[in-house]
Structure 1
Amino acid sequence: MNENTYICETLTIPGSNKMTALNSLRSYAALAKSRTLEAFSYTWLAVVGALITTRGSPQIVPTVLAALTAFTISLCVYIYNDITDMEMDKLNPTKSSRPLPSGRATKEQAKKFVCLAGITGLVLSFFVNFETFLLCAFWLTWFLAYSTPLLRLKKRLILKESTPALGYFLSTVIGAKATGYITPTVVFSGLLSGLFIFFSLPAFRDTTDIKEDKLHGVRSLATILRWKHRLEMVILAVLAIMTLTPLTYANFGFNAIFPIIVVAMGFLLLRFLFPLASGIEEKKYRSALKVGTVYFFSIQISMILGALPIMF
């Protein structure tokens, strides 16, 4: 009996290793898919930085490497955040469907994915240039400190909002450094994107996290500010951007396309924000969130067009 048991335990079923590998690949794909928007955003901003610093004519290879670097590192840090937030995400109606809290991926699979993505991102950045590697190493270190239980920077006031804003700024700078130089135009562009993210997160993304954040001791602006004040933050940020760009675009080497698009899209977003002053109504809130996303990407498109060497 013991001998038979031993044989059964050590017997390898044909194809079982292939099935295990296939299941792991499916889990990795599910993990990556769950963070598609975040990964695309950082990748997009790296490309934006490359296009701005070269005035629309970046070298292909460094640009692709910078984009892949931003893609892999963003996946690394966000999936790691999902690992540390798994119990919190189970309480969130939306986040509970993600691979980890739903059980479609295990913690071990997620940890392997994080290591693979992080190492890949750093190796790719090293092949670009050493400065890009240092920027990526700082980005990776800061974001891991944001989530890791020992430091858990996301529990500290302001840092939950400023960390993603810093990431967007760094992505823009990384794309620029990979293909050229970090110019004042690039710094201004990165700061503008980061500014909007910082002031919009409490009203948009973090509003749905309030319950679990309070339960687990995360002090975000969304947990301490009333809805009215969070909405005012977004409105003030949009108004500031609408005012700042027409006054400064020429000083940073942009053409007039940049402020025209920014102001026009700003009015559009305000049109959807003001009706929320009376309170959060699901339909209006979702509409404002969608328009806010379009507004964010339109800012970068206007930067690219505004950086082109055309007289306008």
Structure 2
Amino acid sequence: MFTTKDTGPVADAVKRHWVDTRLPPVLRPFARLARWERPIGWWLLLWPCWWSAALAAIAAGHGWPNPWHLVLFFVGAVAMRGAGCTYNDIVDVDIDAKVERTRSRPIPAGQVTKFQAKAFLVIQALIGLAVLLQFNTFSIWLGIASLLPVAIYPFMKRVTNWPQLFLGLAFSWGALMGWSAVFGDLGWTPILLYLGGICWTIGYDTIYAHQDKEDDALVGVKSTARLFGEHTKIALILLYSAATVLFMLAASFADAGPAAFFGILAGVVHLGWQIVVLDIDDGDQCLKLFRSNGTYGWILFAGFVADAFIGWL
């Protein structure tokens, strides 16, 4: 399984990352499959989990989110994001081989075989399962249900102009998990947070997809970047506005105070900056703005945690 061929880093990966400088060569292709050198992916998967945990703390009258839950969500996000990327690369190997930015990924570049990638996928999934089993029964079944949007997402770019919607269904699932881990059920707060997360995901992944729109057109891959085209900024205004309203409603149902809403409004400034400066024909800038959503996650989380602590005092 571990006989691999290290032909160098992926084209759009972080340069001189520890994956390429410190990991043993035999492990580097697997790290690249899991995108360990690009942590923004698991941050974007993690934020809805942490936001939900923080809103649950507010609703329950706790001074802060459950630290053990935050750790579990972190480990689970890293494992399942890696599993998702590995699965996506297995499914998309033929497409990746035709796109400039992705043809150097481990499978199309010949660094690992499909069998090796599938074995690595199983290992990561088992880690995710071990994390999931630490939660209550309701959350375990809820987590298992998340596998459906994860499984269908890679195929959506072939059949719909809205693959980003299906990414949102998968990546925002943590908005349900953080709440259920505390209360053992769902309510309007996590549902509204989930819907807001979907809108946010469509927005930031549309920006990301503009990097590949020309290659995507050549190989027949669909995306909201191609769908929105020159109207992308208008679409982002609508998507980010919807996300903001839904996040505010979620905070209201959790009986949050001013600090939570201040965090959401501070996040609006960040999202507005993305829209104002966006140049959809500048791939490097699109990647930078996409990554900046990690900062947006911190802004909302800080507001929710501050509100929980203030309410507890």
Q: TM-score range by the shorter chain?
A: 0.7 to 0.9
> 8 Å contact 1:46–1:66 — kept in the other structure?
yes
CA separation of 1:134/1:217 partners in 2, compared to 1, >3 Å: closer, same or farther? farther
Greater shift, 130-139 or 87-96, is seen at 87-96
Deviates more, 1:210-219 or 1:167-176: 210-219
Distance in structure 2 (CA, Å) of the matches to 1:125 and 1:176: 14
Kept in 1: contact 2:76–2:131 (CA 8 A): yes
Comparing 164-173 with 46-55, greater Cα deviation is found at 46-55
CA distance in 2, matches of 1:245, 1:129: 25
Indicate whether 1:234 and 2:241 are aligned.
Answer: no
Q: Cα distance, 1:197 vs. partner?
A: 1.2
Range 240-249 or range 60-69, more displaced? 240-249
1:77 maps to which of 77, 84, 97: 84
Distance apart, 1:307 and its partner CA: 4.2
| Aligned amino acid, residue 40 of structure 2 | L
C-alpha spacing 1:217/1:116, structure 2 compared with 1 (3 Å): same
Change (3 A) 1:311 1:244: farther
How far apart are residue 285 of structure 1 and its match? 4.5
Verify the 8 A CA contact 1:135 1:174 in the aligned structure 2.
yes
Match of 1:110 among 117, 128, 136: 117
| Corresponding position of 1:265 | 267
Whole-Å separation in 2 of the counterparts to 1:205 and 1:285: 6
Give the counterpart letter for 1:80 in structure 2: Y
Answering whether residue 138 of structure 2 is matched by residue 131 of structure 1, we say: yes
Tell me, in whole angstroms, the C-alpha distance in 2 between the residues paired with 1:280 and 1:157.
23
Counterpart pick for 1:164 among 164, 167, 176: 167
Q: 1:309 to 1:158 in 2, by over 3 A?
A: farther
Distance 1:298 1:311 in 2: 20
Q: Report the RMSD for the aligned CA atoms in angstroms.
A: 3.4
What aligned pairs does 1:37-48 form with structure 2 within 5 A after superposition?
Answer: 37-48=40-51
Question: For structure 1, which segment, 253-262 or 267-276, has the greater mean C-alpha deviation from structure 2 after superposition?
Answer: 267-276
Q: CA deviation at 1:243?
A: 5.8
Residues 242 and 31 (structure 1 numbering): CA distance in 2 closer, same or farther, change over 3 Å?
closer
Residue type at the aligned position of 2:300: I
Q: Residue in 2 aligned with 1:299?
A: 300
In structure 2, the residue matched to 1:200 is 204
Paired position in structure 1 for 2:194: 190
Aligned residues: 288
**Alignment match of 1:256 (pick from 255, 258, 283):** 258
SS of the residue corresponding to residue 96 of structure 1 reads coil
Normalization by structure 2: what TM-score?
0.76
Cα distance in 2, alignment partners of residues 82 and 69 from structure 1: 20
2:178 aligned to which of 175, 178, 185: 175
CA contact (8 A) 1:63 1:179 kept: no
Q: Any conservation in 2 of the 1:65–1:128 contact (CA below 8 Å)? A: no
**Bigger share in helix:** 1
2:236, 2:286 → 1: CA distance? Answer: 13
Q: How far, CA to CA, are the matches of 1:242 and 1:172 in structure 2?
A: 15
Normalising by structure 1, report the TM-score.
0.76
SS in 2 for 1:100: coil
Q: Which amino acid aligns with 1:197?
A: T
Higher-Rg member (1/2): 1
Q: CA deviation at 1:125?
A: 1.4
| Larger CA deviation: 108-117 vs 250-259 | 250-259
List gaps (5 residues or longer) in structure 2. Answer: 5-23
Residue 8 of structure 2: aligned partner: none
Partner of 1:210: 213
Between the aligned partners of 2:67 and 2:303, the Cα distance in structure 1 is 21
Give the structure 1 partner of residue 17 of structure 2.
Answer: none
State the one-letter code of the partner of 1:27: P
Q: Is the 8 A contact 1:76 1:114 kept in 2?
A: yes
State how 1:282-293 maps to structure 2 within 5 Å.
Answer: 285=286, 288-293=289-294
8 Å Cα contact 2:55-2:304 kept in structure 1 = yes
CA pair 300-249 structure 1, distance change in 2 beyond 3 A? same
Q: Does the 8 Å contact 1:269/1:288 carry over to 2? A: no
Cα distance change on mapping 1:76 and 1:281 into 2, 3 Å: closer
Deviates more, 1:157-166 or 1:91-100: 91-100
Query: Structure 1 CA distance, aligned partners of 2:47 and 2:304?
Result: 13
Q: Secondary structure at the match of 1:310?
A: helix
- Aligned position for 1:92: 99
Q: In the superposition, relative to structure 1, how do residues 183 and 71 fare at CA in structure 2: closer, same or farther (>3 Å)? A: farther
| Residue number in structure 2 paired with 1:280 | 281
- Asked whether the equivalents of residues 142 and 177 of structure 2 are also in contact (C-alpha less than 8 Å), the reply is yes
User: Where does structure 1 lack aligned partners over 5 or more consecutive residues?
Assistant: 1-16
Aligned position for 1:14: none
